[in-house]
Structure 1
Amino acid sequence: MSYPAPPPPGGAGGPNPYQAPYGSAPQGIPPKKQDNTLWWVLGIIAAVVILCCCSVGGFFLFVANEASDQVSSYSSSANSSKNADAAGASTVSEGGSITVDGAAVQSGWSIDSTGDVVNLSVSNTSGTADSFYLTFYLMEDGNVLDDVTCNTSYLEPGETDSNVTCIGAFFDVDDRDEIRVSEGL
């Protein structure tokens, strides 16, 4: 006995009028409403995270601005202090000799291209043994561009230190038009 061939996939003939197309609700039954609770929760969490990030960023910008203001204030104060200290210092020409509070700066020193004082020799002309702390103010138009500090070893009266230690300038001092020197802290 022979059986008829099976129907082709998808059924034979036209669509079943009583069967709803895939993805839609059957006739007479309203479609099920989607639940958006998960999207609302994720949206609220994202909004909170963004708000926190903006707050933290704002806080750091505020702190950085305050720090910048403090540095500017300190720098301005330090520069006026240097100008006031330089006003009481003695004027000297580059390489010239001068005696400041018992420290006799010998001639022949110079300021190199990096702002360091080189070949500096200092003698103790005071009546007691002492070490000296010299500050060279490198100035332009009456304002301190930078200063160079130099320290001698402990010297007996009449003794000379030909190997004075100096800490050079940090800023460009090529435009200097005046040099002043003082002794002491």
Structure 2
Amino acid sequence: MGVPPKKDNTLWWILGIIAGVVLLCCCAGAGAVVWGANRADDSYSDFSSSINASESADAASGLAVSEGGSVVVDGASVQSGWSVTSDDISGLTVRNDSGTSDSFYLTFYFMKDGNVIDDVSCTTTYLDAGATDYSPTCIGAVYDVSDADEIRVREGY
């Protein structure tokens, strides 16, 4: 009897190399996804911090007002009697005290410790001098502002 013929392992080597390349590509792809997600999160955090800082600066330039109080902001006279409901500003009326026909864009900032925790923007109709808008359109749902220690309002975009 003779020596059995030597088995050819070439196919196993080729399949092993292919499997290794596929595994390497999968790991590289997963790493790229994790890296990209990390970069996106960092970019969002930077953007979010920038927006919050800008919003807090805008709020700081506004006038302080108590809930339901009156205040005149660049010719827009916010009348007393408004309130913050569970999701909106209710009963807001704005009179044009600017002396010229105009519309107003008011942003109410709800703040805690000098930082904006929520805001609502309200727009009046085009008002002649001395005219009042009894139901300005407000955009932005008020969330939990029960711990707000200050309300500020400013006019303009």
Q: Same fold (TM over 0.5)?
A: yes
1:74-113 to structure 2, matched below 5 A, reads 74-113=47-86
Q: What is the root-mean-square deviation in Å for CA atoms of aligned residues?
A: 1.2
1:53-132 to structure 2, matched below 5 A, reads 53-114=26-87, 116-132=88-104
Match of 1:147? 119
Change (3 A) 1:46 1:171: farther
The 8 Å contact of residues 138 and 178 in structure 1, kept in 2 or not, is answered as: yes
Q: Using CA pairs below 8 Å that are at least 6 residues apart, which structure has the higher relative contact order? A: 2
Percent same amino acid at aligned positions? 61
Pick the structure with more helix per residue: 2
Question: What TM-score comes out, normalization by structure 1 length?
Answer: 0.81
C-alpha displacement of 1:176: 0.5
The 8 Å contact of residues 126 and 157 in structure 1, kept in 2 or not, is answered as: yes
Aligned residues: 157
Match of 1:163? 135
Match of 1:45? 18
C-alpha displacement of 1:103: 0.4
Q: Does 1:184 align with 2:142?
A: no
Gaps of 5+ in 2: none
| Structure having the higher Rg | 1
4+ long deviations beyond 6 Å: none
Supply the distance in 1 between the matched residues of 2:70 and 2:113 (Cα, whole angstroms): 23
C-alpha displacement of 1:177: 1.2
Pick the structure with more strand per residue: 2
Gaps of 5+ in 1: 1-27
